Amino acid sequence: MVTIDDFASPVRPTWCTGCGNFAIWNAVKRALAQVGLAPHEVMLVSGIGCGSKLPDYTHANGYMTLHGRTVPVATGVRLANHGLRVLCTHGDGDAYAEGLGHMLHAARRNIGLVDIIQDNRIYGLTKGQYSPTSDRGRVSKTSPWGAFELPVNPIALALAAGATFVARSWSGDLNHLTATIVRALGHRGYALIDVFQPCVTFNRQNSYDFYRPRVYNLQDDPDYDVTDRMAAFARALEWGDRIPIGVFYQVEDRPAYEEQVPALKAGPLAPRPVEKLRPEQVQRLLEEFL
């Protein structure tokens, strides 16, 4: 039986005391244990940033990529071995700035990834520059007159791109966050989880005290239909005194990308023996492509 202790790493986190990443880290381990995935059955892929250190703090397969390249590397891992459950763990700068195009294409392809975005609405590792999800007017080291841009809306963008699972949670509710990840792990295809992750050092504005009185759970409304895409869009645009968390949208009627690739019908590529090409096969390839 898999337990959370199976994912314990001797490497201790260097996050600031009170950082929202601690809850995400624990929720990931709890969720993996709950669904019965052993460490060797999991691949954690991250980019660059405070939250992207998570694979180093977790006993499982892990890969740290370049800034913004988390999703394409995770896509390659999933196609090479779709027997692994692949999770992306990276921040809002990594995912929604350098990596935004990759997220949108992963959503439309419906590749089988669980994409967990640690959204602290600031660049934390590089010491407090405004990020794509920072509020307009945000004063920071790179915006002394306030940020001029409107913040991106990751929920609405994912819905528009065709994502089949779109959710939001936050670091102040470990049980809700764990349950959301468990639900995403059971999804067929691409699953986005945007997680409000308070940065206690560089973003005192979007703190635990900011979110706690505002967030409400979509699943507390018995009439909310997670298969209604237009209703999901409407909730995605809510912001202010009331901010929705939970599963905005989920459908299971589209096959995952890897289910449609003919070369993967016989099973994952990684464990297959490599067959040496015969001379006549090499010659046919040369004739076909040269």
Sign of the CA dihedral with 70 first, then 71, 75, and 78 last: positive
pLDDT band at 273 (very low <50, low <70, confident <90, very high): confident
* Cα 14 from chain centre: 21
Superfamily of domain 4-289: Thiamin diphosphate (ThDP)-binding fold, Pyr/PP domains (3.40.50.970)
> Is pLDDT of 93 > 90?
yes
> Is pLDDT of 276 > 90?
no
> Is pLDDT of 241 > 90?
yes
Question: Are the C-beta atoms of residues 106 and 115 closer than 8 Å to each other?
Answer: yes
**Residue 190 pLDDT:** 98
> Is pLDDT of 275 > 90?
no
Q: What digits encode the pLDDT tens for the residues 180-239? A: 999 999 999 999 999 999 999 999 999 999 999 999 999 999 999 999 999 999 999 999
Q: How far apart are CA 92 and CA 97, in angstroms?
A: 7
Task: Classify strands 85-91 and 61-64 as parallel, antiparallel or unpaired.
Answer: unpaired
Sign of the CA dihedral with 33 first, then 14, 95, and 240 last: positive
Name the percent of the chain lying above pLDDT 90: 93
Name the percent of the chain lying above pLDDT 70: 100
Average pLDDT, the chain: 96
Ordered by start, the domain boundaries in the chain are 4-289
Q: How far apart are CA 48 and CA 57, in angstroms?
A: 14
Higher pLDDT, 43 or 276: 43
Q: Over range 97-125, report the average pLDDT.
A: 96
Q: How far apart are CA 87 and CA 112, in angstroms?
A: 9
Paired strand residues for 113: 86
pTM for the predicted model, two decimal places? 0.94
Lowest mean pLDDT among 12-16, 185-189, 276-280: 276-280
Q: Please give the C-alpha separations between residue 209 and each of 79, 171, 231, in angstroms, as whole numbers.
A: 42, 12, 28
Please name the residue ranges forming H helices in the chain: 21-34, 70-80, 92-93, 100-109, 154-161, 174-185, 208-211, 229-236, 279-289
Q: Please give the C-alpha separations between residue 46 and each of 93, 123, 201, 240, in angstroms, as whole numbers.
A: 12, 16, 22, 30
pLDDT band at 63 (very low <50, low <70, confident <90, very high): very high
> Is pLDDT of 142 > 90?
no
- The pair phi, psi for residue 190, each rounded to 5°, is -75, 135
**Residue 277 pLDDT:** 86
**Residue 290 pLDDT:** 85
Q: How far apart are CA 233 and CA 148, in angstroms?
A: 25
Question: Are the C-beta atoms of residues 162 and 201 closer than 8 Å to each other?
Answer: no
Q: What digits encode the pLDDT tens for the residues 155-176? A: 999 999 999 999 999 999 999 9
Task: Classify strands 85-91 and 113-119 as parallel, antiparallel or unpaired.
Answer: parallel
